[in-house]
A = this chain, B = another copy of it.
Amino acid sequence: MAKDACELCMHPGGEVIYRDDNYRIVLVDDERYPGFCRVIWNAHQREMTDLSTAERAILIAAVWQVEEAVREVMQPDKINVASLGNVVPHVHWHVIPRYENDAHFPNPIWGEVKRTPASAELARRSGLVPRLREKLLERFEQSLL
């Protein structure tokens, strides 16, 4: 796939919370999954093992930082982390807070829908997102000091 046909080369891929020379952290716009984040490598690489060992370490450390912030703020029942890229083969990580009463649990979010989540519960989770933005910024800006 040429860079000018790659969605993650042409577009940010979500609301950008933090960006440096290597990667960006975005909030994913999915109303069923407030707090769903992606960590996107800026350069057009296909697989994690196409990155150098040092680059992999930088990117995966960012994934763990995001996982920790999501756990702290969103208090999910489980975290799901995945790098797939079948549709957009440009290295990016999904970090997804999962709850036993969410739309797909215990299926992956790409699996069969199991229920309609309660709107009050979704509203409560959406209400945590501003705090998640702050936490992510704190963590990633601190790491620059």
Contacts and interface: CB of A to CB of B under 8 A. Distances in A.
Oligomer copy total: 2
By DSSP majority rule, is chain A's interface helix, strand, loop, or mixed?
mixed
Interface stretch (A33-41, A85-93, A134-142): A85-93
Contacts of A81: 48, 82-84
Nearest to A86: B106
A68 B108 CA distance: 25
A98 interface: yes
Nearest to A89: B78
A98 B86 contact: yes
Interface residues of A, number: 29
A49 interface: yes
A46 B71 CA distance: 12
A60 interface: yes
B80 A86 contact: yes
Nearest to A111: B110
Contacts of A29: none
A78 B68 contact: no
Contacts of A89: 78
A68 B80 contact: no
9 contacts: A47-B78, A49-B67, A49-B71, A60-B60, A78-B86, A80-B86, A81-B83, A81-B84, A86-B107
